A and B are shown apart, each in its own frame.
Chain A
Amino acid sequence: MSASVRIPTILRTYTSGVAEVSAEGATLQDVLNSLDAQYAGIAARVLDDNGALRRFVNVYVNDDDVRFLDGLATPIAEGASISIIPAVAGG
């Protein structure tokens, strides 16, 4: 499946400044692998040493926080829109 991925400012050093890229995969994990194949090292910025999503990264698939879905196993439909966003506390 092909998905569009919005890249946060912090990670745009990997994408030559491009804010939105496309990647392939049936699950979020696959998409991140595909992203890393295109932009080596980017996945390690999103995932911790155990391969889990870092504590201060929020990932959304079609506007839903993946922690409410299936995390890295969240299925990705054709044309899905994925956003990677640093967690910010609010108030």
Chain B
Amino acid sequence: MKRTFLGEFEEIVLLTVAILGEEAYGVTVTQELEQKTGRSVGFSTVHTTLQRLEEKGFLASQMGGATAERGGRRKRFFTVTAAGRKALVEVKQVREELWGALPPQTLQLMGG
């Protein structure tokens, strides 16, 4: 079975978009990521990743209406597509399978 490949960062970004729901665009995704993971991410990196996910079909985007802040410039909102959801589920399944296969004593050793 051919699996969709999701990079680690791509996965996190995709998840963040899913969390944010209707409000997901460049700035919110970046800030959410920084708060949740505590790591500083480059603005352009997030942007590029969003675009790449859209090209892969995991995200869809549309331009929002004119805004009052940011000089009246419109925002591009991202939503997770069906394929995106499927990819997230698959990734989660793989993780869980792997965790399940972990011998119990190893789990104990890791302090779990």
The answer to whether A and B come from one shared complex is: no
Chain B residues proximal to chain A, CB less than 8 Å: none
Chain A residues proximal to chain B, CB less than 8 Å: none
